[in-house]
Structure 1
């Protein structure tokens, strides 16, 4: 009805959903109709007897038709009133097709729309498959399961042939683990959708490797179309690849398992294994270079780590990373890698984080104290600033110093945070950015994306709230120490 070039005139509104368009001149085409069909006719069987159109409408409705379109100008000059009355009584929609509009034009419009919708569905499937592949590559089996669960709004589970859970991703109250276990015990291969009244389940038996195999189960709130089922098969193939690990990854995992067992049992003879693990990141002298990446937002830190990982992969190197606290990550590089080489690995992501690069040390000399020093150094920097760690801030952890900083924080920083919370302002963030930017108003404004006058106005308000003179460099240095011990997840 929305295709204006067809010039259809709606006479009796009805359901908009239909399945096919079927031209027919049979007086009673019921046995040949597809449920949900739109019937096109010029009414040859009812020439001179329009009163029989009322029974015709009842027969179409009984056959499950959705609507009838009458072509005028050949048998009837206009749509007979009997057809309109009969259609309303039978619950059919009615529209008029002008004589100069061939029925083939309507069939063609429907086919064009089906083609368009099919192309959209195929494009969605391709995009969803690419997204699943991306998550599988970057996040492994767990990320693959989470993404499949989100795309299909479903619970996802994988169990092995011993009914042991390999992956479990629930969705609300839905859980697919029991479905997967039942499929294993029943010895079923891939099964079409089944329903228990609360949802639909789909199971897929993955590739067999010797006696070992896995079953993927998905529980959805409604039935899946061809694209949804194709996506499940694609996810099963990706999961197969991730589960059946290549030999070199299996060897690496075996070494990690050995280390975990040794740590659990307190065994001391793991030196060779540890040497091999860190051998890929040390230089010829056995030295590494620790680096701290810190950001204001988790997404910025994750982007920076991902950029490093991508760059190392291109060089055939492995990523060594450990999250210290929220928004703070420790990375390890070869000891002979220069500062510039490390910042180049971060690429554009460096602008959104703070980076402190430690000195080259033997991997056995990497201590929590050294890492703490780098964390403090990173937090004191402005966004986008990288450089060597100071390594001289251990005194900041002295109990007396921390007590003094706690007192000063209550008088200054915590006042700002409370003021922001009550008034919806951004004074705390402005102060931290200003001090980390070495007290430069222009730098602070550019980082925050505001005008310089806005920064000046905020700084004046900060001085009022904290009762601190921000023109005093000593006072600013004191506040910076307070900030680096309050922000970043501590």
Structure 2
């Protein structure tokens, strides 16, 4: 709350009276000083209660106006005017000037020594400081529990509540991992977003230019750079209207230490956590999700509580195993919870609802794959998102990431998927039988030919055979399936069936 001029006036033992500047009674006092100097303002820094007997008060109104204006400009909390010595009452023109400036003008009666005011303020400030440290000792364990149970987002929320300021955690690339705004209106929220843009611009300029305090017209932004053995791992940004106090800085330092410790999490703890998250994710994909599991899975959601499922397909299960490690490392580098599940050649990943194709490609770290991105959903639609992601992956070409929602593909339509389901193995059974008996992979041959729009050179290169071999295989396929691939409708139907079925990547 702070120690205000109004609080001081409410202390009956001091018998203080407010003679002017009532509009400024909510000004906070950080100390009390005594001075009879007319130019005292040049020795002050703001927040002081200045006590004077008016011994050198200018004799004219113009001089008194300059005197009070200089004190108001430097930002003192108020002026205590002692009566009963040089002046029996507070001069009337001084009262008018104080009212005009909104600067509290207090009358200090003769029996009250200035030292009594200073002592009361010191006691009050000491009580406040003790209360702040007490709150800090309670906040620190709460912050520790938060990062253990909810990771960085929970820590950010706890720190924001303890400081009563907006807080954000930004990764080393300048991407916002988590943010909690204390702004109470749209305008305040926009100011917070502007402050975050400012911090991200500093990060883009270079890590060494980031840590410290930046004061703008609307914000005071405190940024704590967080380092680990590998270098900078992120930044804590605290956004408020005034600089942090000593206790607040202690809490920010504690939060930074917790983030550093989490980044350096012991190997066996990380392995156990990954195994638990994989199991929870696997159960959720089978439609089993307890309330506690929903809380954990919710850590992967964006600020709106939405997620998406990605399905990657790799050339072999061995490649998929390596990809799990790569994807997990990429998620961890982005300060994301790792929900990754491997099924043979397939790797299923839970990402944020606002993630796009570029993020999906980046998580794979350059590995050869094809992938599908499911629709944005809440946790209740997790299974459906996974199904559509798998459908999208089946429709992708080598190295492609398909988002059926943004491409507008008919394969994103449930009725189309239902109609195609099961046709793959039935319609293409003769070709699958040849492959299973050790013969040529006519399924892959047909797909390559159709995706090349019947262009022999392109299709032969994709399938990896000579064009004469390709012509021979296509003729064999036409006989086995009883179709004419010169017919456009036949080609379209077969391609849809191919895209709907399981198959190894090209």
Q: Aligning the two structures, in what range does the TM-score lie when normalised by the shorter sequence?
A: 0.3 to 0.5
> TM-score if structure 1 supplies the norm length?
0.45
> TM-score if structure 2 supplies the norm length?
0.44
